[in-house]
Amino acid sequence: MNKDVPDDDASIVYYDGDYPSLEIGEARAEHAATLARLGMLGDVPFYKERAAETGGPVLEIGCGTGRLTIPLARAGHEVWAVDVSAAMLDQLRAKLAREAPEVQARVHPVRQDATALDLPVRNFRLAAIPFNVLMLIPELAAERRALAAVAAHLAPGGTLALDVMNPLTLPMDAETKPSPSEPRRSPRNGNSYIRNTMASRLDEGQCQRIHGWYDELLPDGKIAVTEYAFTWRMIFRYELELMLEAAGFAIERLAGDFDDAAWTVDSRRMVVTARRAS
């Protein structure tokens, strides 16, 4: 999430409903369908495979509420879970409290800005920047600082894995009508809700404001309306490759999805595995 998004923003409150986990809590068929629509189906297994290949410790940038953190810890990996949002980290800690003691002990939640990352561990074997986190640092110079900071925390030869959306598949003009989501279930109370989304026109810095509101159906039949907004920066393929090269990474694979399909202009995502120079 952007560092200036307030803790009570609806995008944080409804986060687990918008991006459900198939590993934490009860997995439902509609959860898989939601992830498939977002191009996220298979992302957690992808990062778990990278961790199995490299071993730990693992550095996760933009851990959010623990959708990836907890499965990694359950798999036996020590995870330093970094996020700029105190509210997201509070949700992660609440989930960890329900995990086995050995899983809790493997996770180190840290509130820091990725662009000024400074951790006591500098020998991570894997760094993960999942689900558009790099896009949510909406300034080119700041994105470059974040990648350089991650490289500085990796052991020589360490692996970086990340994924971002392919901007060639996204609208770049201002939207005049909201796009409603399919009905979803609130993670707080089980109420049904719909997320209504609009986007601004892409600006000269390749940034776009994503904004809208949530309509939640309350038990008494009333509708609770809560607004949200954040900014992301679209990153094009060769720009991403140049940023990674400048930060000292050599790309080993750039795929179009989490099943390692070849990337094309129509791919929903850019899924990257790169290696820090020795």
1 domain residue, yes or no? no
Judge if 102 and 239 occupy the same domain. yes
pLDDT of residue 254: 98
2 domain residue, yes or no? no
5 domain residue, yes or no? no
pLDDT of residue 46: 98
Q: How far apart are CA 127 and CA 236, in angstroms?
A: 21
- The fraction of the chain above a pLDDT of 70, given in percent, is 100
Q: pLDDT for 141-160, tens place per residue? A: 999 999 999 999 999 999 99
Judge if 248 and 264 occupy the same domain. yes
Lowest mean pLDDT among 14-28, 164-178, 190-204: 14-28
Q: What's the predicted TM-score (pTM) here? A: 0.96
Per-residue confidence band for 187, with pLDDT thresholds at 50, 70 and 90: confident
Judge if 157 and 22 occupy the same domain. yes
Judge if 41 and 176 occupy the same domain. no
pLDDT of residue 233: 98
Q: pLDDT for 31-73, tens place per residue? A: 999 999 889 999 999 999 999 999 989 999 999 999 999 999 9
The number of residues making up the chain comes to 278
CATH number at residue 24: 3.40.50.150
Judge if 68 and 186 occupy the same domain. no
Judge if 87 and 203 occupy the same domain. no
pLDDT of residue 155: 96
Per-residue confidence band for 1, with pLDDT thresholds at 50, 70 and 90: confident
Judge if 32 and 94 occupy the same domain. yes
Judge if 14 and 140 occupy the same domain. yes
3 domain residue, yes or no? no
Mean pLDDT of 75-97: 97
pLDDT of residue 4: 87
- The fraction of the chain above a pLDDT of 90, given in percent, is 92
Q: For residue 42, what are the β-bridge partners? A: none
Mean pLDDT of 208-215: 97
Judge if 228 and 158 occupy the same domain. no
Neighbours of 224 (CB within 10 A): 13
Mark 166-202 as b/e (b = at least 16 C-beta within 10 Å). Answer: bbeeeeeeeeeeeeebeebbbbeeeeebbbbebbbeb
Of residues 86, 81, 52, the one with CA closest to residue 67: 81
Q: pLDDT for 237-265, tens place per residue? A: 999 999 999 999 999 999 999 999 999 99
Given a cut of 90, whether residue 207 has pLDDT beyond it is yes
Q: Which structural domain, as residue segments, surrounds residue 216?
A: 169-232
- Written as six digits, the tokens of 169 are 């598949």
Per-residue confidence band for 25, with pLDDT thresholds at 50, 70 and 90: confident
Count of domains forming the chain = 2
Judge if 255 and 206 occupy the same domain. no
